[in-house]
Amino acid sequence: MAAANKPVWVQVAEAGFGARLEELGWKPVSPAHWRLDGDGVIWRTMLDRPWGEDWDPEADGIDLTGCFADETGFELAGLDDLVKRLHPGRHHRWLNRTIRRSVRVHLSFTVGGEFYDLSCRRHAEWMGANWTWKEALRRQLRGRRRSPPIERLYDVEPVYRTKEKYGRGIGYVGGWWDTNDFGVEEVSARLMRHWEAYMKPRIDAWATGKDTLEFSMFTEPEPDKTASSIVDVYAHYVVGDLDYCQRRLRAEVSRKVPTLEEELAWLKKVRFFKDYPTYGPKEKKATALRFIESAEEEVRLARRVARTLDLKLD
């Protein structure tokens, strides 16, 4: 197929980006998808068409001809198989979709996301250098302290675009690379420079399954306390850290299940029902009972997981 007839992300891959990844040890899976296997971790880097949940670029008047997105992410090997084993009746996977819809990872990153973080730090430095704390407070009280224009946020790379005109204060909103002004070869070179600057250090730091336990979803800061999920237990189990698993499961099976009176008092204390003004005593009682049942289910789950994984909690 002639280069001009190939998707632009494939052209970018063939213009040098893919060859450089292969030099670094990555194996090609398809023309714009590469894989790197570590000890208990699988890394993937992909180029493809830009996309977002519930986003229609044509409706926003955006022409994505000559544009593509990048994504790099990892899968903790064995985690999803363990989840399926422990929850056979659920159609749930911890893996998340990527720009390659059929490819899933546990956590992913983009070069654009790194641009966002860098640019926000630059903006914070600019505010610190140009505003006194009184000026910053005055702007905040007047509701004028919105995020800076995205053009300023992304000035670290002129070939990177985003659909947002202003930051919305909720973090990185997504974007894409545009080859129309600079050409495929130049954009491929720029992408590779940024990828090596931002992605490679993270991949090198998380080269094994144990390394990825630094991911906040995989490790609770206080293992001897309860948490909202036990996916961290599963992550530590697949890498062989059974001591952590036992500490967390002991905390879960010791979880205090409140009485109905205690739960109702807590819901009142936190003003839970202020958003439900029509709730009467019957509805409030039913809500409290659901929370109590949820706590009881967490205890039962922890006990079942400990039995299935043969983890002694005594």
Question: How far is 276 from 288, CA to CA, in rounded Å?
Answer: 14
- The pLDDT of residue 269 is 94
Question: How far is 308 from 300, CA to CA, in rounded Å?
Answer: 12
Q: How many residues does the chain have?
A: 314
- The pLDDT of residue 167 is 45
Tokens of 75: 């899968």
CB atoms closer than 10 angstroms to residue 115: 21
Question: How far is 68 from 312, CA to CA, in rounded Å?
Answer: 50
- The pLDDT of residue 148 is 53
Give the largest CA-CA distance in the chain: 73
Which parts of the chain are beta strand (E)? 27-30, 33-37, 41-48, 67-76, 96-97, 104-105, 107-109, 160-162, 175-178
CB atoms closer than 10 angstroms to residue 312: 9
pTM: 0.84
Hey, which residues does 39 pair with through a beta bridge?
208
Question: How far is 224 from 252, CA to CA, in rounded Å?
Answer: 9
> CA neighbours within 13 Å on the CB side: how many for 154?
23
For the chain of 314 residues, list the mean pLDDT of each consecutive stretch of 10.
79 97 97 96 95 65 86 95 86 77 91 78 70 69 53 68 55 78 95 95 96 96 94 97 97 96 95 91 95 96 96 91
Helix (H) or strand (E) holding 188: helix 184-205
Question: Could you tell me if 257 and 299 are in contact, meaning their C-beta atoms sit under 8 angstroms apart?
Answer: yes
The alpha carbon of residue 263 and the mean position of all alpha carbons in its chain are separated, in whole angstroms, by 33
Tokens of 40: 């208990």
Question: How far is 267 from 264, CA to CA, in rounded Å?
Answer: 5
Question: How far is 94 from 106, CA to CA, in rounded Å?
Answer: 6
